[in-house]
Structure 1
Amino acid sequence: MTVLIATCALLGLLIGSFLNVVVHRVPRGESVVRPASRCPGCEREILRRDNVPVLSWLVLRGRCRGCGVPISVRYPLVEVGTAAVFTALGWVVGPSAALPAYLYFGAIAVALALIDLDVRRLPDAIVKPSYLVALVLLAAASAGTGDWGAYGRALVGGAGLWFLYQVTVIVKPGGMGYGDVKLAGVLGLYLGWWGWDALVVGAFAGFLIGGVVGVAVLLTGGSLKTKVPFGPSMLLGAFLALFIASPVAQWYLGMAGIAPSV
């Protein structure tokens, strides 16, 4: 297990470096493959030795080797953050056929949350292909574990959460963007595969976190007209559900006087 978690952490650093490119280029409609990364100051192509996650930023003291222009601390933070997400997923999923599916989920969660915070948009270029990727990876997970019931839950979860958000948009126009609706279907696939409790807790947690963020905005001087991206709340709620859904469900059933199933 230690080797698995260490591998996930290292992979997270590498993927995090790539996600910095994704977050910067995808909203602009640019290729994430070409051209190679360049310094925004002198436009010099970044050398491979200067592109090692976290380490290169520390060695260069956060500046371009060529022109000395500052390099945002956000770059190593995204790399470390992605490594932390991958480490947590490696721990909770374990050495399972489902791990690739949930590592992909972790990667798009980091990218989409940052993009939504930056430009208030969840790009179709990431969200739409994620449906197909999720369906394929979760099918592979069910094939590997032999649990095809989980795949059925994923399909129901994806359709159900998409429908819930679709109804919400219709009932309260302007309350959220349609990008949130499309993202909901992807999250429903992952939450449904994990379990019914994760689907319910993940859906509720997204709205709860969004409400808390909204209150915080008001308390810090914002207004009801302040636009706050909802995508990060949805993604964080879904991520947390993978860890807390089971104990939360048992707590709720206990409070309701219902004996949890064994």
Structure 2
Amino acid sequence: MPLAPLLVIAGVLGLAVGSFLNVVIHRVPRNQSLVRPGSHCPDCGHAIRNRHNVPVLGWLLLRGRCADCATPISARYPLVEAGTAALFVAVTARFGWSWELPGYLYLAAVAIALALIDLDVMRLPDKIVLPSYAVATALLVPAALLTGDPAALLRGAAAAILLYLLYRVLGAWGMGGGDVKLAPLLGFHLGWLGWGAVAIGAFSGFLLGGLAGAILLATRAAGRKSRIPFGPYMLAGAFLAVFAAAPIGDWYANLLTPAQF
């Protein structure tokens, strides 16, 4: 399939997935069913009409307010939908029409849900993280076999173990249990791409988390004893590696290579 229509399909799919992720982000931390009740206003309880459930457009038609009680609807809902669509398009552009594409689209969806949940409640729910191991296996193992690249699986498994051990050691210094459980999942996907991606993804997560922590301290938005969710930075670092591991690696290698005169 040509890339252009594939990107359009990815964008539409991302909008639909983003709409579902809004439900996941709201309900999973509250241990609520993802199926029942259907979409409804949390303030007045009225069901949301089908025409208002269209991603992004529904919010715009409602002008950001419930159709029944006029309660403001957070702009985060359309932003999650549009953001998921944008990330799906970017991932599709990165991998093209390939066997591994579904695995990384799933990781993108999980990343958005986990990042926002961690920001909201400072927790990475097992209900999302642990089943993702099975999904990653189901999507990437056949991809490795169909592409004739079993080495990618071995590398991914080794990277998963390596990041688990790293975060398990760091857990003794306050790293959250959810971060420890998430690390192997990211390691598996990064290891598929290569050891450079593993190194850049892991390092970038710590770098981004450290920079965010320093900014929060400098602006007094947080204190030295404040808890800061680390999951969003792990995920951001991982996707930075997915998209830019090669150019970042080349740039770093050039820094270490003496200039030729």
Q: Distance in 1 between matches of 2:228 and 2:170?
A: 17
Give the match for residue 257 of structure 1.
Answer: 257
Give the match for residue 98 of structure 2.
Answer: 96
Count residues in correspondence: 255
- Structure 2 length normalisation: TM-score? 0.95
Encode CA deviations 1:111-168: one digit per residue, 9 max, x unaligned: 0000000000000000011111111111122123221111111111111111110011
Question: What is the CA-CA distance between 1:240 and the residue it aligns to?
Answer: 0.7
Question: What is the CA-CA distance between 1:4 and the residue it aligns to?
Answer: 1.0
Which amino acid in the other structure matches residue 133 of structure 2? Y
Give the match for residue 229 of structure 1.
Answer: 229
Secondary structure class of the residue paired with 2:188:
helix
Give the match for residue 164 of structure 1.
Answer: 166
Give the match for residue 194 of structure 2.
Answer: 195
Q: Distance in 2 between matches of 1:40 and 1:169?
A: 37
Which amino acid in the other structure matches residue 217 of structure 2? L
Which amino acid in the other structure matches residue 217 of structure 1? L
Encode CA deviations 1:50-93: one digit per residue, 9 max, x unaligned: 10000011111111112222111110011011111111101111
Which amino acid in the other structure matches residue 226 of structure 2? T
Q: Distance in 1 between matches of 2:85 and 2:65?
A: 23
1:181 equivalent to 2:180? Answer yes
Secondary structure class of the residue paired with 1:32:
coil
Encode CA deviations 1:154-189: one digit per residue, 9 max, x unaligned: 11111111111001112x2x2x21110000011001
Q: Distance in 1 between matches of 2:228 and 2:157?
A: 29
Encode CA deviations 1:196-227: one digit per residue, 9 max, x unaligned: 11111000000000000011011111321121
Give the match for residue 245 of structure 2.
Answer: 245
Give the match for residue 206 of structure 1.
Answer: 205
Give the match for residue 2 of structure 1.
Answer: 4
Q: Distance in 2 between matches of 1:140 and 1:213?
A: 38
Question: What is the CA-CA distance between 1:255 and the residue it aligns to?
Answer: 2.8
Secondary structure class of the residue paired with 1:70:
coil
Give the match for residue 51 of structure 1.
Answer: 53
Secondary structure class of the residue paired with 2:158:
helix
Question: What is the CA-CA distance between 1:33 and the residue it aligns to?
Answer: 1.4
Which amino acid in the other structure matches residue 235 of structure 1? L
Question: What is the CA-CA distance between 1:34 and the residue it aligns to?
Answer: 1.4
Q: Following superposition of structure 1 onto structure 2, how do residues 4-23 of structure 1 map, counting pairs within 5 Å?
A: 4-23=6-25
Give the match for residue 144 of structure 2.
Answer: 142
Q: Distance in 1 between matches of 2:33 and 2:43?
A: 20
Secondary structure class of the residue paired with 2:99:
coil
Give the match for residue 128 of structure 1.
Answer: 130
Question: What is the CA-CA distance between 1:256 and the residue it aligns to?
Answer: 2.8
1:83 equivalent to 2:85? Answer yes
- Structure 1 length normalisation: TM-score? 0.95
Q: Percent identity?
A: 55
Q: Distance in 2 between matches of 1:47 and 1:191?
A: 41
Q: Distance in 2 between matches of 1:41 and 1:256?
A: 58
Question: What is the CA-CA distance between 1:20 and the residue it aligns to?
Answer: 0.2
